[in-house]
């Protein structure tokens, strides 16, 4: 009897799995899978753009769907936009394949609107923390509308653009998880890439700097790359010397110490890397040594200018040293507890570079 009962139980379980599998296949056709979502300000509310692939791109090749390519909703908040979509569409939203979130600059600058969206996203637990986040110039809807001219869905295009870059180390591009952390903790600096339209193609044109969950200004591509170098987030870094000589630093390593000097906190930044001359060859050892000295002098000046510029113009310490201060100098940290703005305002920098030129490989 025991064996018979076990057999019956197994049969029931197998039958249930088959039934559930069939239901799941039908349910796919009742769901919409946005690959990209854009949020812009619209009056006192927001405008939300959903961009979808064909269902066969996220399921099996035989799946059929009446999904629209895009759907726009204007509402008081993302929650109301979501409700509107659910009411007006035959399908329900499924975020399992969401690749990118694009925030218009006006939406990003509205702390309440951004907080409302994050609260909804966190409470629903449907959004992956790995979803890439971009800002948009002038707004998200115009950037996402470039979808029509691309050979693949714009969500996939932007994800591949970030993943295939040779510049960045892993986990450099900001994600929704980074926004969650900053929303709750207010203790990091986020470089948010800003997308622009370049002849029908979305490209990163500059970066928005978020500090204490607020945008405090933008950095040019060059300034942002220097900032990412300072934060040890680049696989490679290029720089131009006099007479158009271009050097590429391979796997640069940055380290720093935090001390106190003349009553002020000071970050001593060190950069070490091998570099190659990309558009020329050395005539002799003397030329190599001369260029090496020039490269070290130029990079030192560049990084100091960027560090002090960010401090004086945006009130931002690109090294993020305050959050690490407790691990370097506990006594100094105690002097600036709850005084981050004061710390950032008087922080001083020294930069030391150790670039070694090697033959082009």
Phi, psi of 359 (to 5 degrees): -65, 150
Q: Which CATH architecture has domain 235-358?
A: 2-Layer Sandwich (3.30)
| Confidence category of residue 342, pLDDT binned at 50, 70, 90 | very high
| Confidence category of residue 60, pLDDT binned at 50, 70, 90 | very low
CA distance 43 to 22: 45
CATH 3.30.300.210 in the chain, residue ranges: 235-358
- Distance of alpha carbon 232 from the chain centroid: 15
Residue 244 pLDDT more than 60?
yes
Q: Which of 202, 239, 204, 201 is CA-nearest to residue 221?
A: 204
pLDDT on residue 48 = 97
Q: Which of 7, 199, 174, 4 is CA-nearest to residue 100?
A: 174
Residue 191 pLDDT more than 90?
yes
pLDDT on residue 54 = 59
| Confidence category of residue 125, pLDDT binned at 50, 70, 90 | confident
Residue 261 pLDDT more than 80?
yes
Q: Which percentage of the chain shows pLDDT scores above 70?
A: 87
Q: Which two tokens stand for residue 139?
A: 């707004």
pLDDT on residue 169 = 92
pLDDT on residue 267 = 97
User: Which has the higher per-residue pLDDT, 143 or 64?
Assistant: 143
| Confidence category of residue 63, pLDDT binned at 50, 70, 90 | very low
| Confidence category of residue 19, pLDDT binned at 50, 70, 90 | very low
Do the beta carbons of residue 303 and residue 268 sit within 8 Å? Answer: no
Sign, Cα dihedral of 105, 175, 251, 231:
positive
Mean pLDDT lowest for which of 17-31, 196-210, 298-312?
Answer: 17-31
SS3 347: coil
pLDDT on residue 249 = 98
Residue 15 pLDDT more than 90?
no
Q: Which two tokens stand for residue 261?
A: 């000097």
Tokens 């930069």, residue located: 351
| Confidence category of residue 73, pLDDT binned at 50, 70, 90 | very high
Output DSSP code: residue 169.
P
H or E segment at 249?
strand 246-261
| Confidence category of residue 361, pLDDT binned at 50, 70, 90 | low
pLDDT on residue 27 = 67
pLDDT on residue 21 = 39
Residue 230 pLDDT more than 50?
yes
Residues in the chain: 361
Residue 210 pLDDT more than 70?
yes
Q: What is the pLDDT of residues 330-340, one digit of tens each?
A: 899 999 999 99
Cβ neighbors of 348 (< 8 A, separation 6 or more) are: 261, 264, 265, 266, 267
Average the pLDDT over 316-321 and give the result. 94
CA atoms within 13 A on the CB side of 292: 17
Mean pLDDT lowest for which of 82-86, 130-134, 197-201, 227-231?
Answer: 82-86
Query: Taking all residues of the chain, what is their mean pLDDT, rounded to a whole number?
Result: 88
Model-level pTM? 0.86
Is the backbone of residue 120 left (phi > 0), alpha (psi -120 to 50) or beta? alpha
Q: Which of 247, 361, 253, 254 is CA-nearest to residue 298?
A: 247
- Asked if omega into 188 is within 30° of 0 (cis), the reply is no
């Amino acid at each position: 009897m025991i064996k018979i009962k076990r057999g019956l139980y197994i049969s029931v379980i197998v039958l249930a799995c088959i039934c559930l599998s069939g239901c799941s296949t039908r349910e796919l056709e009742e769901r919409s899978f946005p690959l990209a979502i854009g949020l812009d300000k619209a009056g006192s509310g927001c405008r939300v753009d959903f961009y979808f692939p064909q269902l066969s791109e996220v399921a099996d090749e035989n799946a059929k769907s009446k999904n629209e390519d895009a759907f726009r909703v204007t509402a008081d908040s993302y929650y109301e936009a979501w409700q509107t979509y659910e009411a007006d569409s035959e399908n329900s939203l499924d975020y399992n394949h969401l690749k990118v979130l694009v925030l218009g600059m006006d939406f990003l600058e509205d702390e309440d609107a951004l907080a409302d969206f994050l609260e909804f996203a966190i409470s629903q637990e449907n959004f992956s923390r790995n979803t890439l986040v971009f800002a948009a110039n002038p707004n998200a809807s115009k950037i996402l509308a470039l979808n029509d001219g691309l050979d693949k869905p714009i969500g996939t295009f932007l994800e591949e653009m970030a993943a295939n870059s040779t510049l960045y180390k892993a986990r450099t591009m900001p994600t929704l998880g980074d926004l969650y952390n900053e929303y709750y903790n207010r203790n990091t600096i986020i470089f948010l890439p800003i997308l622009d339209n370049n002849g029908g193609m979305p490209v990163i044109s500059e970066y928005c700097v978020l500090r204490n969950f607020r945008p405090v200004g933008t950095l040019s591509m060059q300034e942002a790359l220097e900032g990412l170098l300072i934060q040890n987030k680049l696989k490679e870094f290029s720089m131009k010397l006099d007479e158009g000589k271009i050097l590429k630093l391979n796997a640069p390593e940055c380290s720093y110490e935090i001390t106190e000097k003349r009553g002020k906190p000071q970050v001593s930044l060190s950069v070490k890397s091998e570099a190659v001359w990309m558009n020329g060859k050395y005539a002799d050892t003397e030329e190599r040594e001369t260029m090496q000295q020039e490269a070290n002098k130029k990079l030192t000046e560049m990084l100091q200018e960027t560090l002090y510029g960010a401090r004086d113009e945006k009130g931002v310490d690109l090294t993020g040293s305050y959050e690490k201060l407790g691990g370097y100098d506990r006594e100094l940290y105690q002097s600036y507890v709850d005084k981050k703005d004061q710390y950032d305002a008087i922080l001083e920098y020294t930069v030391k570079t150790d670039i070694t030129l090697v033959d082009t490989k």
